[in-house]
Amino acid sequence: MAERREFQTEVSQLLDIVIHSLYSNKEIFLRELISNASDAIDKAKYEGLTNPAIYDGGTDWKIKLSFNAEAQTITIADNGIGMNHDEIVKSLGTIAHSGTKEFIKQLAEQGKESANLIGQFGVGFYSAFMVADHVSVVSRKRGEAADKAVRWESDAKSSYSIENTTKDTVGTEITMHVRDEDKNLLNDWTLKRIVGTYSDYIEYPIAMDVEKPIIGEDGKETDQTEVAEETLNSQKALWLKDKAEVTDEERNQFYRHITHDFADPAKVVQFKVEGTSEFSALLFIPSHAPFDLFHKDTSFGPMLYVKRVQIMEHCEELLPQYLRFVVGVVESSDLPLNISREILQNNRQIPLMQKNITRKVLEAISKMQQEEPEQYKKFYAELGKVLKEGIYYDHERKEAIAKLALFESTATKAGEYTTFDEYISRMKGEQNDIYYITGGTRRELENSPYLEGLKAKEIEVLFMTDEVDDIVFSQLNKYADKSLKSVLKGDLDVEKVAESTAKSYEELIKGIKESLGERVADVRLTARLKGSPVCLVTSEGAPDANMERLLKAMGQPVPTAKRTLELNPDHALLKAMQNANKDKVAEYAAILYDQAVLLEGGKLDNAAAFVNKMAELMADRI
């Protein structure tokens, strides 16, 4: 007897959106279901490497497509791994996926384009309800008896039924009752066209019984017909073909097939390596960031094939983490079929493969930067934050990766970018350092008092606005023999305060330092400031205020680092303070310190006291 169960809340939301939204391309339902069938066969082949019982259902791998125009049904069957009762409940009744809520939000927001998102979020099965008002799934897991099969059915309203049944063959069969408005799908030429458009590169034959004219003895067609099975897809392994034999459109379609993306990739990287390590690769650099790029539990890396057998869906060992947005296929003829992650870590071929793949991908990104600057700017806006991680983690290639970085600067208009190389080409004759400032936005940074002295000298400063920049560029130190110098740290050494000026302020500096005590590491005059009276400066090598905030946000311990208070000797306030008594100096020193904390984006220990004191000073002036 059938058991009825309610859908998980997220599934009900998803089905409601799928059914009631208007889609520009319903045909992708077939791509998603065929892709799932292909995955099921991949799993059977992989498990069969260690469990021979998996092969009891035969190894004539196939995906069978059929339709019944009178009954208004389309059926997709595979002889892959199959599912038992618990697996069907888990796979079709719930969505155990970290991106589910984000997916439902995007699906609701993107209107007619939302259907293209379905496969990206691992919920492709539900696309069947784009064209069907009722779906049934009958599945028998490989290695289990015929009477252990399971039937799942739903009209997508709020629940589904599940019951035990009998199935003579292993694998999964999905039957969809097509809505009246989608009856145009119920013919062989439409289904052939959809398969050819979206699933031509599936490794396994997608077969369908079609009516064909009988060929007579004279080799000509007769008036009689017969039903014969026809394979609808080419099954071309594009990554094994010569690069010149594959068209751009074929590569782009294959990319859309493996990623379920709605846009073409930004760059395609296809190559073969022969010699000590032999492998073929077809890799893609996306044009936009995957939705789960920053999820800590997201797997990355290309699919790994060995002798046409998919060994891993995501082989993380083949790419450094800062290139985790790269997708595709790598096939090796050298690796063993029974390879595991533990064996991968000790296999001498893997580091060689990773080195080659990393070099080829970085070369492709560099070529995009040089030859397609507008395309590169779009790519960098989406994925530059991840790419920059390589500066920190990949010591061997950190300068090559830094060469790819883009920045706004005091010499560029808002929205325009420069590079380290272009910055160096504009450096003043005696300038030896590359100056940069980190922070939240360009607007905040270009008005920072820390830039005043450099602006007066017409020295360019790079704006680094990604939160990772503090960590990343602290590892670079130098680029093209030029030192990187944060304007928030140390002595800029761009202009010295005159000795006579320094001498005239000795007593005031001493008084301010005594009054501030342990709050500062030191107090000194600076030529860094031209209009502002004061700023706080971090010592070289210590974390600045931005770094401290980032570490706190990450839950990391923040080392205590006192900063140096720098004063502008040309400011009217400093000049006036030279004639003040000790108590006034202490009072104003506290205010100046609080102002400096605010200027660096910090939080005051006692904001109320600062506000009250400023109000008193304003009242005295009125």
CATH number at 278 reads 3.30.230.80
Residues 455 and 585 in one domain: no
User: Is residue 153 in some structural domain?
Assistant: yes
User: Is residue 266 in some structural domain?
Assistant: yes
- Strand segments (E) across 338-490: 408-409, 433-438, 461-464, 478-479, 482-486
The burial of 522, by beta-carbon neighbours within 10 Å (0-12 exposed, 13-18 middle, 19 or more buried), is given as middle
Q: What angle do helix axes 28-48 and 188-198 make, rounded to 10 degrees?
A: 60
Mean pLDDT, the chain, whole residue set: 85
Q: Of 209, 231, 253, which closes a domain?
A: 231
Residues 92 and 203 in one domain: yes
Q: Is the pLDDT of residue 442 over 80?
A: yes
Position 395 scores a pLDDT of 92
Identify the H or E element spanning 443.
helix 442-446
User: What are the φ and ψ backbone dihedral angles of 67, each rounded to 5 degrees?
Assistant: -145, 160
How many Å apart are CA 86 and CA 577, to the nearest integer? Answer: 79
Q: Of 340, 373, 406, which closes a domain?
A: 373
CA nearest to 325, candidates 237, 265, 372? 265
CATH number at 456 reads 3.40.50.11260
User: What are the φ and ψ backbone dihedral angles of 441, each rounded to 5 degrees?
Assistant: -135, 165
- Cβ(584)–Cβ(577) below 8 Å: yes
Q: 7: Cβ–Cβ under 8 A, 6 or more apart, which residues?
A: 15, 93, 154, 158, 159, 160
Residues 16 and 135 in one domain: yes
Residues 534 and 474 in one domain: no
Residues 298 and 219 in one domain: no
How many Å apart are CA 417 and CA 368, to the nearest integer? Answer: 15
Average pLDDT on 400-425 reads: 95
CA nearest to 567, candidates 525, 536, 531, 598? 525
Range with lowest mean pLDDT among 122-126, 201-205, 299-303, 326-330: 122-126
Q: In this structure, are strands 3-6 and 159-165 parallel, antiparallel, or unpaired?
A: antiparallel
Domain that holds residue 432: 388-486
Burial 139-169 (b: 16+ CB within 10 A, else e): bbbbbbeeebbbbbbbbbeeebebeebebee
Position 339 scores a pLDDT of 64
User: Is residue 379 in some structural domain?
Assistant: no
Position 546 scores a pLDDT of 67
CA nearest to 32, candidates 104, 110, 99, 126? 126
Position 115 scores a pLDDT of 44
User: What are the φ and ψ backbone dihedral angles of 140, each rounded to 5 degrees?
Assistant: -130, 120
The residue type at 234: S
Token pair for 95: 């969505």
Q: Is the pLDDT of residue 242 over 50?
A: yes
CATH number at 181 reads 3.30.565.10
Range with lowest mean pLDDT among 112-116, 385-389, 391-395, 407-411: 112-116
Q: In this structure, are strands 206-215 and 63-68 parallel, antiparallel, or unpaired?
A: parallel
Position 541 scores a pLDDT of 66
Residues 467 and 584 in one domain: no
DSSP readout, 263-321? Answer: S--SEEEEEEE-SSS-EEEEEEE-SS--TTTT-TT---S-EEEETTEEEES--GGGS-G
Q: Is 434 helix (H, G, I), strand (E, B) or coil?
A: strand
CATH number at 561 reads 1.20.120.790
pLDDT band at 97 (very low <50, low <70, confident <90, very high): very low
pLDDT band at 104 (very low <50, low <70, confident <90, very high): low
Q: In this structure, are strands 132-140 and 73-78 parallel, antiparallel, or unpaired?
A: unpaired
CA nearest to 35, candidates 264, 326, 256, 286? 256
Q: pLDDT for 544-568, tens place per residue?
A: 666 666 666 666 676 667 889 999 9
Residue 44 is classified by DSSP as H
User: Is residue 596 in some structural domain?
Assistant: yes
pTM: 0.70
- Strand segments (E) across 339-469: 408-409, 433-438, 461-464
How many Å apart are CA 377 and CA 416, to the nearest integer? Answer: 9
Beta bridge partners of residue 433, listed in sequence order: 483
User: Is residue 324 in some structural domain?
Assistant: yes
CA angle 480, 383, 420 (to 5 degrees): 20
Position 202 scores a pLDDT of 84
Q: Is the pLDDT of residue 114 over 50?
A: no
Tokens 């490794």 identify what position?
Answer: 203
Cα 244 to chain centroid, rounded: 30
Position 341 scores a pLDDT of 63
Burial 385-402 (b: 16+ CB within 10 A, else e): bbbbbbbbebeebbebbb
Q: Is 132 helix (H, G, I), strand (E, B) or coil?
A: strand
Q: Is 345 helix (H, G, I), strand (E, B) or coil?
A: helix
Residues 252 and 205 in one domain: no
Residues 261 and 362 in one domain: yes
User: Is residue 311 in some structural domain?
Assistant: yes
Q: Of 342, 373, 404, which closes a domain?
A: 373
Residues 218 and 112 in one domain: yes
User: Is residue 382 in some structural domain?
Assistant: no
Residues 465 and 539 in one domain: no
Tally the domains of the chain: 4
How many Å apart are CA 103 and CA 284, to the nearest integer? Answer: 23
Residues 369 and 416 in one domain: no
pLDDT > 70 in the chain, percent: 88
User: Is residue 493 in some structural domain?
Assistant: no
Residues 244 and 205 in one domain: no
How far lies 144's CA from each of 87, 148, 554, in Å?
Answer: 13, 6, 48
Q: 355: Cβ–Cβ under 8 A, 6 or more apart, which residues?
A: none
Q: Which of 18-32, 49-63, 513-527 has the highest mean pLDDT?
A: 513-527
How many Å apart are CA 600 and CA 467, to the nearest integer? Answer: 15
**What sign for the dihedral angle of Cα 462, 468, 470, 473?**
negative
